[in-house]
Structure 1
Amino acid sequence: MDTANGNIGGTANIAATGSVNFQGPKLDFFSLVANGALTTSANVNGYINNVLQAIQTKGTVAMYQVSPAAPTVLNLAIYPTGAYTAATLLTTANTSATVASGGQNLELTSAAGNAVFTTAASNFAPV
């Protein structure tokens, strides 16, 4: 933690001293749902890459994860905040990313601001 006047004392009022935790930019969290599984290698290297590149025309994907519990769900953390709404994110991702991959013609069918990440290191990919 950092404050304008050095370390926070054990008895300090944190709200009054305005502490800041420097861990990166504030993020918006979204989930996108596809009409097919995103877990095949062709989808990871093709379709998901296209989705991420499309999104990054307006914002930066800080991290993403295909949900281990639901392989049709792509969770995203994006900055700057406010770059996308769920509706504009869905439109942007679908405009540039729709490709046939893994024998499927994938398309994103919905988006919401409710991403949930699994914390196991092998299940998410920082960008």
Structure 2
Amino acid sequence: MATFTRVNGTTQPVFALDVANGSIAGTANVAAQGPVMLSGPKLDFFLLTANAALTNAGNVNGYLNNVFQAVQSGAGITGGGAGGTIAFYQAGATAGTINIAIYPSGAYTTATLVAAAQTANATGGLNIGIPTANVSNAATFTSLVA
């Protein structure tokens, strides 16, 4: 295999991910910033199972939107938690399931997540709820790739 001797460059990321902080010495990059993962940060995965099918729950002010907004705002968390960002979600193939991936890792436990999601119960004209026992860390996303 052909190789060549590098004469310049560092391990600094090629992409400006978070801040435009100018040039950083190559030795400072490893010590101060740590590794860069382009696919994103560590996520926590949860499965929520609603009391009913979510077929008609996807409208603008509908149940799904209200659940997502509640989770991201930290609604219902005792002590006014900050919530988390939903990196991606999928309304499951099984009726009534919602799979979500949340950043930052550790922002929610199953108990605090269901408390936030329950603030959306009976919203958007639908009387759907997510019981406390229906939240787990067993999210299963369906791939769209054949």
TM over 0.5, shorter chain: yes
Q: How far 1:101 moved relative to its partner?
A: 4.5
Residue 21 of structure 1, CA deviation: 3.6
The answer (yes or no) to whether the contact 2:66–2:123 under 8 Å persists in 1 is: no
Higher share of residues assigned helix: 1
Aligned to 2:121: 98
Give a deviation string over 1:67-95, Cα, whole Å, max 9, x none. 11x12110000000000001110011102
1:64 corresponds to: 89
| TM-score scaled by length of structure 2 | 0.63
How far residue 105 of structure 1 moved from its aligned partner, in angstroms, is 0.9
Alignment partners' CA distance in 1, 2:11 and 2:37: 12
Question: Does structure 2 conserve the Cα–Cα contact (< 8 Å) formed by 1:39 and 1:66?
Answer: no
Unmatched 5+ stretches in structure 1: 7-17, 122-127
What percent identity do the matched residue pairs reach? 49
For 1:34-49, what aligned pairs fall within 5 Å after superposition?
A: 34-40=50-56, 43-45=57-59, 46-49=62-65
Q: Answer 1 or 2: higher relative contact order, Cα 8 Å, separation at least 6.
A: 1
Q: 2:107 maps to what in 1?
A: 83
- Report how many residues are paired: 103
Deviation of residue 23 (structure 1)?
0.9
Amino acid at match of 1:54: A
Residue matched to 2:19: none
Kindly state the Cα deviation for residue 100 of structure 1 after the two structures are TM-superposed: 4.5
Rate the CA distance shift 1:63–1:5 in 2: closer, same or farther, 3 A: closer
In the TM superposition, residue 107 of structure 1 has moved relative to its aligned partner by: 0.2
In structure 2, the residue corresponding to 1:56 is in which secondary structure? helix
Match of 2:38 among 6, 22, 29: 22
Greater strand percent: which structure?
A: 1
Give the alignment's TM-score, normalised by structure 1. Answer: 0.72
CA distance in 2, matches of 1:44, 1:5: 42
Letter paired with 1:116? T
Residue 120 of structure 1 and its aligned partner are, at CA, apart by 1.1
> Would the aligned equivalents of 2:92 and 2:141 in 1 still touch at CA under 8 Å?
yes
